[in-house]
Chains A and B, each alone.
Chain A
């Protein structure tokens, strides 16, 4: 007697393409996915609980470990939340340094995404090319912060270290170099027929669905919604730079790819302008009390991280520790749409779709 059976396939938490410890339980018929059930929490470290017993400055290193590919934006979001509550004036030079490191971090993060995405799809070389450029950025960030991944660079009221001698010059040289490499990526990947076949029309969703599922970042912009908090709810000094918010209409993995690649270019524009406008000298820290105590009350701020909208909610009692700290982690929200996208797809598309969402598990699990 021949009969067919559905099969349960457990992908992860140890699987090369889940980018960490993400697990998804698939019900498959042949290679077609009938149902997908994501399981997360393997990297949950209780940052929010820990933070309730830490002073605000002590929390900053913990944020490095959430989205460890773009730690600078994480640093910034908590500083920004506290600064918003305390209504602090940040020195100009510090703001420029912040924007520079955040945008460099954004490029580095997108490069990792680009490399690993292609690796998921089966092309190995772009990964190593992307890491070459990322290495250059990490070197720059290392020079200014002393760390390569978990920077712990920003402080409430400013930044910890001033730019070392010649740092700005190095960035100035980096921008054209990066542009050149970027066009190399487009030559190698963006026109590749196999790649296009793999990503076009895959993981499709509409504008309404994207909003319904609280997607943000490139996952939202790929549906044609031109929305970037840097521009639309401008914070820091982003209103001083001219840059575009790339948005593409098709809402598939291809649009997400184009979005992120275009974002690298936009970030380069911002970096270029920031370097030009960089103030010769000045303070890098605002006058803040030794022990930071935001006023009693609550605040929620959100900024644009490479992965989308990262938010920070603080409920303060006026003490030196937050009463409640909550991060809106973009990967966590973005991942929610995954089960819906997977139904009826091929297993190969699982990788394409999951990779296209661009999650960092440290952030998903908090």
Chain B
């Protein structure tokens, strides 16, 4: 799920706005569902205090929510762990969407049903659930696919359009929230509120000047709009974090390495993460000349994961990028030897993707 809605950045208006939107959406959804489902209406105490925005995203989310609710109602057993059921439903819908792209669809439904059944063998209700889920899936397949496609498209558009990151974010968040557990509605709302709070009461981080300096240096050298975002990551020892755009990623990295006042000569860590809405490459650099750290991130389209390689800049990025290619399927252009490193060369799929399913005819 997207991490950008945590509202941690004091400097970023977009962030706050996104977080506010997320909260609004969550609350709104909570209320709506509370009306639909009478037995769990204790959440309705939250008032819809923030005005409704982004009709399109909401409509989409609603469609999704309705579909998921149908699923859930069939599954819901008294002893069921809601989040578990929800996770499964989510996985099911998602895997459906991915299956179309993967051309492994033939056996997918069956394999999935089997997997889900096996996923919880100790629970007698699980079998029933799995069956119900499979049935529901068949019914909701078309809907889910359509929704996923729409979402992906929207995301792509959002990524392409530099003026509308908040739009994309809001959509992503709305979709994500819609998928969140019905029972956790109140919790989700609370979490959103909580996420809001520290942003307001935070004192400026001691590394804030550092970040400001980085940003101003980068903007001076490369232009105003090369960075998608920049903030202090309070959870990670206040590391100044820059988010580059895919097309400026390499340029920013180059500047970070070669600029006299930055000189990040050491790549401490490079890895990628599948955030379901997008992939993200995370770099942690360190400058031994100036003794200062920085994190550089870039968000990549999930369907078409291509990004510039940093191996020409830091030789140490070679293997980590191969690892990211191997496990997450990100193609690094300009990499000297982009082959699988952990898995065998003939392996199918990228294991650390969230929708990964082992390709094995026997299973």
Contact, chains A and B (beta carbon distance below 8 A): yes
Tell me, in angstroms, the Cα distance from A300 to B234 when the chains sit together.
Answer: 11
Given A49-B351, A211-B288, A315-B273, are A297 and B6 neighbors across the interface (CB < 8 Å)?
Answer: yes
Interface residue B320 (Cβ < 8 Å from any Cβ of A)? yes
Question: Could you say which of B96-104, B157-165, B263-271 contacts chain A?
Answer: B263-271
Query: What DSSP secondary structure best describes chain B's contact surface?
Result: mixed
**A interface residues, how many (CB within 8 angstroms):** 44
CB distance from B221 to the nearest CB of A (A): 22
- A46 — nearest CB in chain B belongs to which residue? B351
Contacts of A232 in B (CB 8 A): 291
CB distance from B207 to the nearest CB of A (A): 13
Interface residue A326 (Cβ < 8 Å from any Cβ of B)? yes
CB distance from B359 to the nearest CB of A (A): 15
Query: Which residues of chain A from 289 to 315 have any CB-CB distance to chain B below 8 Å in the complex?
Result: 294-302, 309, 311, 313, 315
| Apart from A84-B235, A301-B236, A336-B319: 10 A-B pairs, beta carbons within 8 A | A49-B352, A85-B235, A212-B314, A214-B267, A297-B235, A299-B233, A299-B237, A315-B273, A332-B319, A333-B320
Q: Please provide the 4 A-B residue pairs with the shortest distance between their CB atoms, ordered closest to farther.
A: A214-B316, A299-B236, A44-B342, A299-B235
Contacts of A332 in B (CB 8 A): 319-320, 323
Query: Which residues of chain A from 31 to 87 have any CB-CB distance to chain B below 8 Å in the complex?
Result: 40-41, 44, 46, 48-49, 84-85
Interface residue B116 (Cβ < 8 Å from any Cβ of A)? no
Chain B interface residue count: which class? 35 or more
Interface residue B195 (Cβ < 8 Å from any Cβ of A)? yes
Interface residue A129 (Cβ < 8 Å from any Cβ of B)? no
Interface residue B168 (Cβ < 8 Å from any Cβ of A)? no
Q: Is the CB of B233 within 8 A of A309?
A: no
Interface residue B77 (Cβ < 8 Å from any Cβ of A)? no
Query: Which residues of chain A from 263 to 322 have any CB-CB distance to chain B below 8 Å in the complex?
Result: 294-302, 309, 311, 313, 315, 317-318
CB distance from A331 to the nearest CB of B (A): 11
Interface residue A363 (Cβ < 8 Å from any Cβ of B)? no
- B354 — nearest CB in chain A belongs to which residue? A52
Interface residue B315 (Cβ < 8 Å from any Cβ of A)? yes
Interface residue A238 (Cβ < 8 Å from any Cβ of B)? no
CB distance from B265 to the nearest CB of A (A): 5
Contacts of B236 in A (CB 8 A): 84-85, 297-301
Sampled A-B contacts (11; CB under 8 Å): A41-B344, A49-B327, A212-B314, A213-B316, A214-B317, A297-B6, A299-B233, A300-B282, A302-B269, A302-B284, A326-B269
Q: Is the CB of B268 within 8 A of A41?
A: no
Q: Is the CB of B269 within 8 A of A41?
A: no
- A335 — nearest CB in chain B belongs to which residue? B319
Given A299-B235, A333-B320, are A326 and B268 neighbors across the interface (CB < 8 Å)?
Answer: no
Tell me, in angstroms, the Cα distance from A153 to B249 when the chains sit together.
Answer: 41
Contacts of A92 in B (CB 8 A): none
Q: 1/0 per residue A212-242: CB within 8 Å of B?
A: 1111000000000101000010000000000
Interface residue B239 (Cβ < 8 Å from any Cβ of A)? yes
Query: What DSSP secondary structure best describes chain A's contact surface?
Result: mixed
- A44 — nearest CB in chain B belongs to which residue? B342
Contacts of A48 in B (CB 8 A): 327, 352
Q: Is the CB of B233 within 8 A of A41?
A: no
Interface residue B3 (Cβ < 8 Å from any Cβ of A)? yes
Contacts of B351 in A (CB 8 A): 46, 49
Interface residue A161 (Cβ < 8 Å from any Cβ of B)? no
Interface residue A323 (Cβ < 8 Å from any Cβ of B)? yes
Residue in contact with A214 in the complex, picked from B314, B323, B342, CB distance below 8 Å: B314
Given A49-B352, A302-B268, A324-B273, are A297 and B8 neighbors across the interface (CB < 8 Å)?
Answer: yes
CB distance from B93 to the nearest CB of A (A): 18
Tell me, in angstroms, the Cα distance from A323 to B265 when the chains sit together.
Answer: 30
Tell me, in angstroms, the Cα distance from A326 to B239 when the chains sit together.
Answer: 17
Interface residue B295 (Cβ < 8 Å from any Cβ of A)? yes
Given A48-B352, A323-B1, are A333 and B235 neighbors across the interface (CB < 8 Å)?
Answer: no
